[in-house]
Amino acid sequence: MIKLGIIGAGRIGKVHGESVMRFVKGATVKAIADPFMNDAIKAWAAELGIPECYTDYKRILADPEIEAVLICSSTDTHSPISLEAIAAGKHVFCEKPVDHDVEKIKTVIEALKGSKLKYQVGFNRRFDHNFRAAERAVREGKIGELNTLSITSRDPGAPPVEYIKVSGGIFLDMTIHDFDMVRFISGDEVEEVYASGAVLVDPEIGKAGDIDTAIVNLKLKSGAIAVINNCRRASYGYDQRLEAFGSLGQVEVQNDTDSTAVLSDANGVTKEKPKYFFLERYMAAYTAEIESFVRAVEKDTAVEVGVIDGLEPVLIGLAATRSVKEDRPVKIAEIRAEYGL
């Protein structure tokens, strides 16, 4: 039984805690730490059977029984805690992003060199049943040579402006998942980005220096073209669709709904709206990614989403941000060169 420690008891920390304690075989959570630990979190942990609750995550890192940690704390702490966990000899599952600062991601990459430690990044959409089926169809050549990849990703509503101010911007916060999907589904790398954006949902987002609506065009090394369609607002729910089109056909993913029932009557044809947001849409994927991480630790195999997979979407996001600001295509090589990559 692999003993885990969870650092951060916010929304995503609780999701992972519940997944491990209820569904993941071969692992248990020994401790959870959060600087804002309170009675409500302790009661939640006790109900799940998590024995230890701390305010100081360093107690988790110092525990020799804990083999691996799940870093679910605020984004600005991901890379520093990663470095401490690696130094303590712990395997790491780190929520995305590893960091918004490429130099800090590089320090994590360096710390892992020569180490046998596992380091997985939390791009949960790779573990969604729909997207995995689409990736498999592309990888197995069922649609032939990939020509175009279209991704629609829209949230049901914008987060608070205070969050926007520290989010790193839409491309490093929201679209980063879609950049990862482009790499995952295509099995290819992005060479060039041309993005356009607007403030159409909330003027306060624009005042905070961000955009809330975007179209991103990406050229892949193979010559294929990808397009990402983002918006912080979709009145009908969480819109998560994908289409990969190739020389022999296409594979598409539609939204998950609470049921597949379709009502047809004199008023028209009606079906369910998409699931409301990411917790509803991707709960099974959150469990699957932790199962994958635990399996890699247990069997000493490679993780499915490594630290380089955490770096590449950030580089694409930086290119997209520059593209909007300067109204021009930006090559990923330009960003890489600035960081000596």
Give yes or no for a contact between 81 and 59, defined as CB atoms under 8 angstroms apart.
no
Identify the pLDDT of residue 25: 93
pLDDT digits (tens, 9 = 90+) for 189-200: 999 999 999 999
What is the DSSP secondary structure assignment for residue 188, as one 8-state letter? S
The fraction of the chain above a pLDDT of 70, given in percent, is 100
Q: What 3-state class would DSSP assign to 77?
A: helix
Cα(220)–Cα(186) distance, rounded to whole angstroms? 9
CB atoms within 10 A of CB 181: 27
Omega before residue 80 within 30° of 0, cis: no
Q: What is the mean pLDDT of the chain?
A: 96
Strand partners, 54: 33
pLDDT digits (tens, 9 = 90+) for 38-86: 999 999 999 999 999 999 999 999 999 999 999 999 999 999 999 999 9
The mean pLDDT of 112-121, rounded to a whole number, is 97
Q: Which domains does the chain have, with CATH numbers?
A: 2-117 (3.40.50.720), 126-275+312-338 (3.30.360.10)
pLDDT digits (tens, 9 = 90+) for 268-283: 999 999 988 887 889 9
pTM: 0.95
- Cα–Cα–Cα angle for 272, 276, 282, rounded to 5 degrees: 105
Strand 225-231 and strand 146-154: the pairing is parallel
Give yes or no for a contact between 217 and 191, defined as CB atoms under 8 angstroms apart.
no
What sections of the chain are H helices per DSSP?
11-22, 39-48, 58-61, 78-87, 102-112, 129-139, 161-166, 170-173, 176-186, 203-207, 278-299, 307-326, 332-338
